[in-house]
Amino acid sequence: MTQSGIDKKSERTMEAGNLVSSLSSVAKSHVGNKSPGSRAQGIGLEARGIHAWFGDRMVIEDMSLDFWSGTVTALIGPSGCGKSTFIRTLNRMHEFIPGAAMAGQVLLNGQDVYAPGTDVTKIRLKIGMVFQKPNPFPSMTISENVLAGLKLAQIKVDNKDDLLEECLERAGLWTEVKDRLGAYGGSLSGGQQQRLCIARSLAVRPEVLLMDEPCSSLDPGSTLKIEETISHLSATMTIIIVTHNMQQAARVSDYTAFFLSEGGPGRMIEVGPTGEIFSRPKDKRTENYVTGRFG
């Protein structure tokens, strides 16, 4: 009885070990192709001591993170650890929720986005967002959806057709929709809708793109396409992606941050190059999570 218990335990440890090595090999090969150090073009976005509350309940405590331009940072962690709340503080979407409060600074090119007198709509133009569920505007066609940001923010563009094609091309959707740009956004499949939403957020030329579990409602094929899109986009912008899927984090990101809530508010446990987080995590809790022992 004791013997078999030990056997089981060691077996699980071995399995976990295998998973660590497989994840880290995915991560390493990825990072090996384009090492974060060489592509990083300075800090695009800095979070300094972010705290967040809903009512009296603190949900995020003291998170500080640098996001380098030209890199993809994945935020991983179990449900309820504050990943989504954290990225929503970055583009000031957090304040939409009644009872929300925050403390700390978010510096975009050195300027605090929460500084008094900041035009919040300008901030959101520079920090775009893709949501968990594809949410194309139902009353608009595909091309109107892509260009909706320009209309919403009242930006004039000389050549809309070029911009339309460019955004759809960058989102990896152009060849699929170029013959039916006048169709409604809702007529696309879920994965296409999500890429349409990515194209829509690209049209206002953001410097940073926040993605809140962009693939969680999509099938594996669409997920793959979105991941390819992320890889292409990361050459020119800062991407921050929340994901529940550790393989995805390993595949697409240069850096990974692990968040965890141990009963109380969510904290950042560890951040580092993705390869290291998955192969040599410094914190025991990170190791437990990335090896699938909990969460």
Partner 1 sequence: MTTTSEIRPQKPWQASLSQRSISALVLVGAVALSYLIVAVTPMKGKLAYVALFFVIFTLFDFLFHFATRGLSAAKDAVARAIVVLGISAAVLPIISILGTVFVRGYKGLHIGLFTHDMKLNSVSDPISQGGLLHALIGTAILVLVALIISVPLGILTAVYMTEVRGRFMKPIKFLVQAMSGVPSIVAGLFILSAIVYPITKSYSGFVGSLALSILMIPTIARTSEEVLLLIPNDLREAGTALGGTQWRTVAMVVVPAARSGLVTAMILGVARIAGETAPIVLLTGGGDSVNGNPFKGPMGSLPFYIWKSYSVGTPESITRAWAGIMVLLGIILVLFISARFLSDRRSGQ
Query: Residue 41 or 109: which CB sits closer to partner 1?
Result: 109
Q: Which of 108, 171, 196, 204 binds partner 1 (CB under 8 A)?
A: 204
| CB 270 to partner 1: min, Å | 29
Q: Is 101 in the site for partner 1 (CB under 8 A)?
A: no
Q: Is 159 in the site for partner 1 (CB under 8 A)?
A: no
Q: Which of 90, 108, 148, 239 binds partner 1 (CB under 8 A)?
A: 148
| CB 115 to partner 1: min, Å | 18
| CB 136 to partner 1: min, Å | 8
Q: Is 153 in the site for partner 1 (CB under 8 A)?
A: yes
| CB 213 to partner 1: min, Å | 13
User: Among residue numbers 206 through 245, which ones bind partner 1 (CB under 8 A)?
Assistant: none
Q: Is 129 in the site for partner 1 (CB under 8 A)?
A: yes
C-alpha triplet 105, 106, 112: angle, nearest 5°: 80
Query: Residue 131 or 174: which CB sits closer to partner 1?
Result: 131
Query: Residue 81 or 93: which CB sits closer to partner 1?
Result: 93
Q: Which of 48, 133, 244, 267 binds partner 1 (CB under 8 A)?
A: 133
Q: Which of 80, 79, 77 is nearest to 265 (CA)?
A: 80
Q: Which of 6, 152, 183, 235 binds partner 1 (CB under 8 A)?
A: 152
Q: Is 197 in the site for partner 1 (CB under 8 A)?
A: yes
Site residues for partner 1 per CB under 8 A: 91, 93, 96, 121-122, 124-125, 128-129, 131, 133, 135, 137-140, 148-149, 151-154, 186, 197, 200-201, 204
